[in-house]
Amino acid sequence: MRFLGFLRRESYEAKCSHCRVELQIERSEIQTGRYVCPECGHENGIPETILIEFKRNRAEEQRKLKEAEDREKERKQRRLAKQQALEREEKERRRIRQEEMERLRQLDQEAASGSSRAIARASPKGSLTILGSLLLVGGLCVAAYFFFVYDTTVSTQSTYIPGYGALGGGRVHNIGLQQDRQLGCIGGLIAAAVGAVMLIVESKIHSSSDT
C-alpha cells in the first residue's frame, strides 16, 4: 500500500515567478516542461529542484516496479517447481501402480495355469476343492480388506499466504491409493471367481466319475 501511495503522488509545490503565488504542479505539467499560473496566466518553466526530485521519484518508482516484477517472477518459479515436483510424484505413483497391476496379472495367470494343470493331471479327489476353497475365501478376504479397511487418504501440509491465512491441511483422498484399492478389490474378486470355477469343475469331475 505504501508503494501504491507513492505512485499516486502527482503534484509538487512551486511558486509562480511572476505573481509569487504558491501552486501545485501536476505530474503531466512536469513532463511537458512548462506550467501556467492560474492566477496571472504567466507560463513558467519547471524549477530545477522539482525536476531533480521528479527524476529521483521516477527512478524510485521504477526500482519498486522492478522489485515487484522480480517477486512475481520468483513466485511463478516456485509454483512451477512445485508443479513439476507433483508431476514427478504422480509419474512415480503411476509406475508403481503399473508394476502392481503386472504382478497381479502374473499371479492370476500362474493361478489359472496351475488350476489347468491340476485338472489335466486328474488330481486326487479333493485337491481342487481345497485349492478352490482357498482361492475363493482368500479372494473374498482380499476384496473385503481393500473395500472396507484400506485407507485412501493422505495428510497434506498447510501453506500460509500473507493476507489470506493458511490454506490446505488435513487429510484428502489420494487418487493413486483409490486406484490401488480398486485394483485390490478386482484382484480379490478374480481370485474368488477362479476358486469358484475350480469348485464347480471339481464337482462336475466327481459327478461324472461317480456315474
* Residue range 116-160, pLDDT digits in tens: 565 555 545 567 788 888 999 999 999 999 889 888 887 777 666
Quick one: 201 and 113 in the same domain?
yes
Answer whether 194's CB lies under 8 Å from 112's CB. yes
Quick one: 179 and 121 in the same domain?
yes
Any domain includes 196:
yes
Provide the CB-side half-sphere exposure for 142 (13 A, CA).
20
Q: Tell me the range of 45-49, 66-70, 160-164, 205-209 where mean pLDDT is highest.
A: 66-70
Question: In this predicted structure, what is the pLDDT of residue 38?
Answer: 84
Give, rounded to a whole angstrom, the gap between the first and last alpha carbons of the chain. Answer: 96
Question: In this predicted structure, what is the pLDDT of residue 7?
Answer: 44
pLDDT in tens, 58-80: 888 889 999 999 999 999 999 99
Question: In this predicted structure, what is the pLDDT of residue 165?
Answer: 59
Any domain includes 80:
no
Integer angstrom CA distances of residue 87 from 8, 52, 58, 76, 94: 43, 52, 43, 16, 10
Residue 191's pLDDT band, with cuts at 50, 70 and 90, is: very high
Any domain includes 82:
no
Pairwise CA distance, residues 74 & 23, whole Å? 43
Of the listed ranges 62-71, 88-97, 202-211, the least confidently predicted one is 202-211
Residue 208 has which C-alpha cell?
461324472
Domain that holds residue 36: 2-72
Q: Tell me the range of 110-114, 162-166, 174-178 where mean pLDDT is highest.
A: 174-178
Any domain includes 159:
yes
Quick one: 167 and 198 in the same domain?
yes
